[in-house]
Amino acid sequence: LGVVSSPAAVDLIGVLAYGELGSFERHATDAAAAPTLSDKVQLAAMAATEYRHFADLCAFLQTNGHDPIAAMQPFTAALDAFHASMAPRDWLEGIMKAYVGDGITADFYREMSAYVDHQTAELVVAVVSDTQMSDYAVGRLREAISADPKVAGRLALWGRRLMGELIGQATLVAGSRPAISALFLQHAAEVDGLVNRLTVAHSRRMDALGLAS
Amino acid sequence: LGVVSSPAAVDLIGVLAYGELGSFERHATDAAAAPTLSDKVQLAAMAATEYRHFADLCAFLQTNGHDPIAAMQPFTAALDAFHASMAPRDWLEGIMKAYVGDGITADFYREMSAYVDHQTAELVVAVVSDTQMSDYAVGRLREAISADPKVAGRLALWGRRLMGELIGQATLVAGSRPAISALFLQHAAEVDGLVNRLTVAHSRRMDALGLAS
């Protein structure tokens, strides 16, 4: 066994890897439904970036003696169910979902990285930081809102639903994994206020679109 | 302008690039619908490979002074219409479509590469040769056929339809582009029998599945 032997670190990398694989699939789906060839090309590039993150996480697990499939498997049912229940109704809702989801995910894993070994933390932070989605999404969503003001209300509602469901889902998933639950308990003082911090950052992202959160 | 200035070469790279972008999207869609996590991971890796091919083709166009979007644009409507009319009904038909489509595409572009400049030819051959889809697809399709013999008839029919539509579509697209039409005329003697050669290679791929073509 290599350096990453803590069950919490393996859980964290496993769920992040499956999340990146899902982001790859959803960006590719958004690329397929893109309104212009230029949007398609940009979304495909972002999907390819997510795949690279996924591959880096799998390689890291393997280097440290862990099977990536086994590390991801405990999280597939919950993540699949979440995404099935929160399927975007159109392309714009897909872009909004990627924007809100990537943002919260990055904030959450950055906090978690403080509680795992240095090498795991470094990889986690690199993977969640390297995303071009935010600038692209803000530009496209603002354009769509200014072209049709009715879009604002629908996207604001969708953003609130996404935030609520993401927090609920993350709590359930974390609670179902003893190693992650133990990590939260060990760091209760620092983790306290986590949901508040995620909510504040989410509000800032909604502000960037001119939407109430 | 760089070395790739022949309009036929730009057309060839443009249509191949848009084809690779579409393959990327379809492999990602197949990954999203995969029956097991291991299938998902393999299909995602193949999608990422198609994206790399796409990016290599775009970079090559740019290096030679051509805008990739402009080079692909003439082909988007025809390819999109083809794929919309030949949408797989389930995951297995998606794998079959990738297997049959990648095979014919590779054969076709390999023949075409003989009629363009050396650098274009080298890239085209590299892009269409570097695919892991064939082994994977043969394994999975044979498994599905032996598990349920009724699947054989359905896939054989689907393979025949795909072959017929691909040839028809390729003929239409080539005919709509003066530079490609001229290329065919210039090399009429060598191109003669092209459809026959593609059909023979297709039959060999169907044989590998134990299916009549």
pLDDT in tens, A124-169: 999 998 778 889 999 999 999 999 999 999 999 999 999 999 998 8
Of A47-51, A182-186, B57-61, B90-94, the least confident: A182-186
- B3 or A104, higher pLDDT: A104
B122 neighbors B15 (Cβ within 8 angstroms) = no
Q: What percent of chain B stands above pLDDT 90?
A: 84
Flag whether pLDDT at A43 surpasses 80.
yes
B1 confidence band (pLDDT: 50, 70, 90): very low
Q: What is the mean pLDDT of residues B65-71?
A: 96
Q: Which amino acid is at B170?
A: A
Count of CB pairs separated by less than 8 Å, A with B: 73
- The shortest CB-CB distance from A21 to any of B40, B68, B73 is to B40
Q: What is the mean pLDDT of residues A35-44?
A: 96
Q: What is the mean pLDDT of residues B75-89?
A: 94
3-state secondary structure chain A: CCCCCCHHHHHHHHHHHHHHHHHHHHHHHHHHCCCCHHHHHHHHHHHHHHHHHHHHHHHHHHHCCCCHHHHHHHHHHHHHHHHHHCCCCCHHHHHHHHHHHHHHHHHHHHHHHHHCCHHHHHHHHHHHHCCCHHHHHHHHHHHHHHHCCHHHHHHHHHHHHHHHHHHHHHHHHHHCCHHHHHHHHHCHHHHCCHHHHHHHHHHHHHHCCCCCC
- A169 or B5, higher pLDDT: A169
Instruction: Return the pLDDT at B24.
Output: 97
Query: Residue A24 and residue B24: Cβ atoms within 8 Å?
Result: no
Question: What mean pLDDT is reported for chain B?
Answer: 93
B59 confidence band (pLDDT: 50, 70, 90): very high
Query: B204: distance to nearest CA of chain A, Å?
Result: 31
Flag whether pLDDT at A76 surpasses 60.
yes
Flag whether pLDDT at B107 surpasses 60.
yes
- A115 or B2, higher pLDDT: A115
Query: A186: distance to nearest CA of chain B, Å?
Result: 32
Q: Which residue has the tokens 């609920």?
A: A168
Q: What is the mean pLDDT of residues A99-126?
A: 93
Q: What percent of chain A stands above pLDDT 90?
A: 84
Q: What is the mean pLDDT of residues A88-104?
A: 95
| pTM score | 0.90
Q: What is the mean pLDDT of residues B34-48?
A: 96
Burial class (CB in 10 A: 0-12, 13-18, 19+), A4: buried
- The shortest CB-CB distance from B32 to any of A25, A31, A58 is to A25
CA dihedral B39, B41, B43, B46 (to 10 degrees): -140
Exposure string over A10-46, b if 16+ CB within 10 A, otherwise e:
bbbbbbbbbbbbbbbbbbbbbbbebeebebbbbbbbb
Contacts of A69 in chain B (CB under 8 A): 37-38, 41
Flag whether pLDDT at B3 surpasses 90.
no
**Angle subtended by helix axes B37-63 and B7-32, to nearest 10:** 160
Phi and psi dihedrals of B114, rounded to 5?
Answer: -70, -15
Instruction: Return the pLDDT at B4.
Output: 64
Choose from A24, A27, A75 for mutation: most chain B CBs within 10 A.
A24
B111 neighbors B103 (Cβ within 8 angstroms) = no
A3 confidence band (pLDDT: 50, 70, 90): low
CA dihedral A87, A90, A93, A94 (to 10 degrees): 70
Write the CB contacts of A213 (distance below 8 Å, at least 6 apart in sequence): A156, A159, A160, A163, A199, A202, A203, A205, A206, A207
Flag whether pLDDT at B76 surpasses 90.
yes
Instruction: Return the pLDDT at B93.
Output: 96
The residue among A164, A185, A3, A187 whose CA lies nearest residue A111 is A187
Name the DSSP letter for residue B35: S
Query: A51: distance to nearest CA of chain B, Å?
Result: 7
Question: What mean pLDDT is reported for chain A?
Answer: 93
Q: What is the mean pLDDT of residues A7-22?
A: 96
Q: What is the mean pLDDT of residues B113-118?
A: 93
Instruction: Return the pLDDT at A88.
Output: 96
Phi-psi region of A131 (alpha: psi -120 to 50; beta: other; left: phi over 0): beta
Q: How far is CA A175 from CA A10, A69, A179, in A?
A: 16, 21, 9
Flag whether pLDDT at B191 surpasses 90.
no
Length of chain B counted residue by residue: 213
Instruction: Return the pLDDT at B84.
Output: 93
Instruction: Return the pLDDT at B131.
Output: 72
Contacts of B48 in chain A (CB under 8 A): 24, 48, 51-52, 55
Question: In what helix (H) or strand (E) does residue B115 lie, and over which residues does it extend?
Answer: none
Instruction: Return the pLDDT at A87.
Output: 95
Q: From CA B60, how far away is CA B16, in angstroms rounded?
A: 12
- The shortest CB-CB distance from B48 to any of A31, A48, A69 is to A48
Flag whether pLDDT at B13 surpasses 60.
yes
Contacts of A38 in chain B (CB under 8 A): 69
Write the CB contacts of A138 (distance below 8 Å, at least 6 apart in sequence): A99, A208, A209
- Tens of pLDDT, residue by residue over B126-148, are 999 877 888 999 999 999 999 99
Give the HSE-up count for residue B119: Cα atoms under 13 Å, Cβ half-sphere.
Answer: 12
Instruction: Return the pLDDT at A1.
Output: 44
